[in-house]
Amino acid sequence: MPIDVTEPGSPGWWFDRLLRRLADRRAHYDRLDAYYDGRVGPPVPAAKSISQAYQRLMRVSRTNFAELVVEAVQERMEVIGFRTGAAGDDLGDQEAMRIWQANSLPADSSLVHTASLSMGMSYVIVGPVDEEIGAPVITPEDPREVIVETDPVRRRKPIAALKVFRDDTAGVDRAYVFVPGQLWRAVRAAPDAGADPFDPASSVPVMDATSWDWESAQLLPFEMVPVVGFPNRPKLNRQVTRGEFEAHLPLLDRINYTVLQRVEIATLQAFRQRALRGGPTHDEHGNEIDYDDIFESDPGAIWHIPETAELWESGQVDLGPVRQAIRDDVQDLAAVTRTPLYYLIPDSSSGSAEGAALAREGLVFKARSRIAEASEAWRQVMSLAFLMAGDEERANRAALEVIWAKPERWSLSERADAAAKAMAGGLSRREALRTVWQFTPTQIEQVEADLAAEALMAQGAEAMATLVTGSGTGTPGEQPVG
């Protein structure tokens, strides 16, 4: 059935609107993803006049600092549990963790965080209960395939969403349009096999909504849009989100360009320029002398030059200032992105302990900010998942809490010392396990179960000793009298 895009607020109208916005943003996300993957080299145009050898130098001059800036934060964002409004979940809700693990999110949640940190946005779609995993389906989504329109008043409330992707196995482009309470599916034949469907030069670009047909519609179990955005560093302008290194692309370009200069100098110095001064240009017969043939670089070659001639050879260029310039730019990158320098330059860890602590502190503060942003999104995701499962008690977002591993990383000796002092000061053992030892809810339950088992064994041993000694105060093996 053809799609009507003229009626405002209709699924077709949303489809056309979001499709064009998605196409407009794709190039921006592609560029940031290329920086994260290290596919962007020095800002030198690869014109036809540039030799293949020089283009190879450009490729080997890429240094992927963007990935390190992202991973420094991502590796400190670890979800370890959830608390809900259900009774008896002080350590964490087991049903929430079952859904989390059934969707492989202990591993795949990092995909959501990485895409958000690198490109400024990522998404998660919540689907109905899948019989195979016995839980609602939760899928991480690429911002180049998904887009959400949010409420003009409540910036985190989605009112429409779209996912577009190419199904290579079926040879079609598919689209899912989400409006409150409904999911509409659209399809069209893929016109250009292997080509980017978002390329305006395509025979029928994706953003042309008239080339699509409605395939089916489906009612959702609630009047909501089950697509959640994970914005990174959002601004009050709801359309603006930013990757961790997005504001510093010129600095990344400058580092790569200086690395290219260093590689160029090293390559040219490997083949020093030589010259002959004062030598004849023609032999005694009037023929032009071919010095390339005379000065053949061979271990067995003997060079014969006129007595008045002099040989000249270019000298070495000091690469120290170039290397220092690269290091200075990397230090600037570490400062503006609040990334400890030892992430970017491993040998920089030889500095003072206080300096290293201050560098980690900036990273921890940044990680906490990103965790706060992601917490609200994961609360929405789990609330939608419980609604899909029909569990309204746990779906209450006001009572939902995401439990994260602490972004601080302490050594075992530091944890042991802090835990002993905390418990001596009146902190409960459970709270020390949670906040000082940074154990997950599952680990805390296991520790408490082990301690209970040890206490029971100790009681059994004491009872056996009492049975053997009679009163428990006599000599072992002594039989009671009377």
Q: Strands 227-229 and 213-219, how do they pair? A: unpaired
Indicate the domain borders of the chain: 1-45+53-268+320-409
Question: In this model, does residue 173 exceed pLDDT 50?
Answer: yes
- Cα gap 306→252, rounded to integer Å: 53
Cα 186 to Cα 188: distance, rounded to the nearest angstrom:
7
For CA atoms 190, 196, 198, 203, give the dihedral sign: negative
pLDDT at 473 over 80: no
Q: What is the pLDDT of residues 56-74, one digit of tens each?
A: 777 778 888 999 999 999 9
* CA–CA dist 1, 12 (Å, integer): 11
Q: Which of 230, 238, 225 is nearest to 160 (CA)?
A: 225
Low-confidence winner among 139-153, 231-245, 432-446 (lowest mean pLDDT): 432-446
Place of tokens 């730019």: 329
pLDDT at 482: 45
pLDDT over threshold 70, residue 153: yes
Share of the chain above pLDDT 70, in %: 84
In which region does residue 134 sit, left (phi positive, over 0), alpha (psi from -120 to 50) or beta (all else)? left
Structure token digits, residue 374? 């992601």
Residue pair 124/230 in contact (Cβ under 8 Å)? The answer is yes
User: What residues have CB less than 8 Å from 399, skipping those under 6 apart?
Assistant: 83, 84, 85
Task: Provide the mean pLDDT of the chain.
Answer: 83
Does residue 174 surpass a pLDDT of 50?
yes
State the Cα–Cα distance between residues 295 and 199, nearest whole angstrom: 55
| Single-letter amino acid code for the residue at 42 | P
Q: pLDDT tens across 213-231, in order?
A: 898 899 999 999 999 999 9
Find, among 183, 242, 256, the residue nearest to 217 by Cα: 183
pLDDT digits (tens, 9 = 90+) for 400-443: 999 898 888 777 787 787 778 888 888 887 777 777 777 777 77
pLDDT by residue (tens digit) across 367-406?
999 999 999 999 999 999 999 999 998 999 988 999 898 8
**Residue 458: pLDDT over 90:** no
Q: What does DSSP assign to residue 129?
A: E
**How do residues 248-275 score in pLDDT, each as one tens digit?**
999 999 998 888 888 878 877 766 677 7
CA distance 139 to 145: 13
Determine the average pLDDT of the residues in 79-87.
85
Q: How much is the pLDDT for 137?
A: 97
pLDDT tens-digit readout, 39-51: 887 655 555 555 6
Give the count of beta carbons closer than 10 Å to the beta carbon of residue 205: 18
| Among 241, 213, 244, residue whose Cα is nearest residue 147 | 241
The pLDDT tens digits of the residues spanning 328-356 come to 888 888 888 888 887 888 765 555 555 56
| Max intra-chain CA distance, the chain | 138
Rounded to whole angstroms, how far apart are CA atoms 156 and 388? 19
Cα distance between residue 405 and residue 384, in whole Å: 23
In 3D space, the residue among 66, 24, 44 whose CA is nearest the CA of residue 336 turns out to be: 66
At position 187, the amino acid (one-letter code) is V
Q: Which amino acid is at 481?
A: V
Q: What is the pLDDT of residue 132?
A: 93
List CB contacts of 10: < 8 A, sequence separation 6 or more: 4
**Starting from the edge strand earliest in sequence, which strands make up the sheet with 172-179, in order?**
146-150, 158-167, 172-179, 182-189, 213-219
Question: What secondary structure, in 3-state letters, does 22-88 show?
Answer: HHHHHHHHHHHHHHHHCCCCCCCCCCCCCCHHHHHHHHHCCCCHHHHHHHHHHCCCCEEEEECCCCC
Enter the tokens of residue 273.
Answer: 């320029």
pLDDT, one tens digit per residue, over 105-126 is 999 999 999 999 999 999 999 9
Instruction: Name the DSSP class of 435.
Output: I
Using alpha carbons, select from 144, 112, 150 the residue that is nearest to residue 28. Answer: 144
Asked whether 141 and 135 are in contact (CB, 8 A), the reply is no
Contact 197, 189 (CB under 8 A): no
Q: What is the pTM of this model?
A: 0.79
**Helix boundaries (H) for 390-408:** none
C-alpha–C-alpha distance, residues 201 and 205, integer Å: 7
Fill in the amino acid letter for 389.
Answer: A
Q: Burial level of 52, CB count in 10 A (0-12/13-18/19+)? A: exposed
Nearest to 292 by CA among 270, 276, 269: 276
| Radius of gyration of the CA atoms of the chain, in A | 33
Task: Evaluate if residue 87 carries a pLDDT over 70.
Answer: no
pLDDT at 243 over 80: yes
> Which tokens go with 316?
């070495």
Mean pLDDT (whole number) for 295-318: 72
Residue 227: beta bridge partners? 125
